[in-house]
Amino acid sequence: MPPTLALFLTLVFIVFLFRRDLRERPNITGAHWLPLIWALIVGSRSVAQWLSTLGLLRGSSTIEEGNPVDAIVFLTLIAAGLYVLNKRRVRLGEVFRSNPWFMVFILYCLISITWSDFPFIAFKRWVKALGHPVMALVLLTEPNFDEALTRLIKRSAYILVPFSILFIKYFEYIGRTWDDYTGIASNVGVCTQKNGLGGGCMIFGFFFFWHLLKTWKMEKGIARRDELLLTAGMLFLIGYLLRKAHSMTSLLSLLIAMAVMVLVGRQWVNKKLILIYASVAVVTLGAAELLFGVFEYVVSLTGHETTIAGRAELWEDLLAFPNNRIFGTGFESFWLGDRLQAIWETHWWHPIQAHNGYLETYLNLGLVGLFLLVGLLISTFRKIRLELLTNFEWGRFRLGFFIAFICHNWTEASFRGLGLSWFMFYLIAMEYPNVQFASEKLSSEADETEEDRELAYFPDKVQSW
């Protein structure tokens, strides 16, 4: 098929998906487009990278300085998100009370900038990362958060998945990369590297599998049939991309998460004992690893011994690297300057992350940051445990993604930066008290514009999740 025709058909397919989605009249506001645009950017490439790929922007970004185009785009989105939150009268104190570990972690990241060797760069990165909680709060204050999150993931997949397939098959200069040293080609789709593509497929694959199970319980009819066909089709496309990405970490994390979600849905599983089940699983896996080396066995089955061996060598070197063990080097400051050059001299593949989220956190934020991260994970698990008893479907969705995220960070560093996985973690980990949509109140106020009525909420009735 000619590439131009393939592009046209892809665009037609995406328009069809969006028209179908809009016809369902989801209970979301116009502000929902802000986190959607954010997800599309962090789930693929930055605006500057897209412009450069299309030949519309000359020059390239540097690791240290970034790109001014991206800075403007991210600041604009964050400012727009803050505007929406202000219109909705979101209370910062309530954000702290609902997410204490998250807020302390974010504040510690800000404080750590003071001892960074590159404070200005670290501060710019912290400001960009602030977009994650801002966009999460925009979704959390939608009329129906469950609906808003569903539409966010669906619409993101409707764009990123078809375009990834298109670029891999028909526009190789966009959808594939070639290693500078080995010449080996990698399928990256809309992303910049294959693990990014794999991580996105992990998120979308898990969501549509959960959606398939949920839709299966609907009353039989045309709507159920059409939704099942669409969901199965998206799963097929995602499975194709996962195969092309060759990201075994993402695939294994996805399979584990799917198994957990199915298991927790069994009637004989007592939801009140989920903490005990989790503790037993952690102890069992830890003992199996110590006694039998289960991780190495799984790696050998996947055929990724060389890749994992290279990462193991990197982990040893990073642990031995001179560093402040208590406080780290400062927020996202480790992979800069002389440290980066020293590591590149001994590792030909030039890593720019630790390929382990827990080690990455330790390098940047020290033992204090690692302690706060563990506290954040435990706090998130407690929230999920409670939601399993009050809103089971979303509770098991959050639990499954939580498990996938924990596993994914064993060989990838997702607790950082502007990745889609880190953004998704904010969405399943943060909470804000329910607010009642009061557009009727706004419409009675003469000084409010139509835009204000579209974006704003008032907490007429506040209750904790």
Mean pLDDT by groups of 10 residues along the chain of 465 residues:
92 95 88 95 92 76 72 94 94 92 94 94 93 95 91 95 95 86 81 91 95 90 91 95 88 91 86 80 74 64 59 86 91 90 84 89 94 94 90 91 91 86 93 58 45 50 35
Within 10 angstroms of residue 25's Cβ, the number of other Cβ atoms is: 7
pLDDT of residue 64: 62
Q: Are residues 308 and 231 in the same domain?
A: no
Domain final residue, candidates 246, 276, 297:
246
Closest by Cα among 155, 199, 195, 147 to 34: 155
pLDDT of residue 247: 84
Domain final residue, candidates 225, 246, 267:
246
Q: Are residues 152 and 37 in the same domain?
A: yes
pLDDT tens track for 68-101: 889 899 999 999 999 999 999 999 999 999 999 9
Q: Are residues 227 and 290 in the same domain?
A: no
- Phi, psi at residue 457, to the nearest 5°? -135, 155
How far apart CA 256 and CA 399 sit, in angstroms, is 11
Q: Are residues 201 and 268 in the same domain?
A: no
* Number of domain units in the chain: 2
- The length of the chain in residues reads 465
Q: Are residues 311 and 382 in the same domain?
A: yes
Q: Are residues 289 and 236 in the same domain?
A: no
Examine residue 106 and state whether it is found in any structural domain, yes or no: no
Q: Are residues 57 and 199 in the same domain?
A: yes
Domain range holding 216? 1-89+130-246
Query: For residue 412, what are the contacts with CB-CB under 8 A and spacing of at least 6?
Result: 195, 199, 249, 353, 355, 356, 357
pLDDT of residue 200: 94
pLDDT of residue 307: 64
pLDDT of residue 465: 33
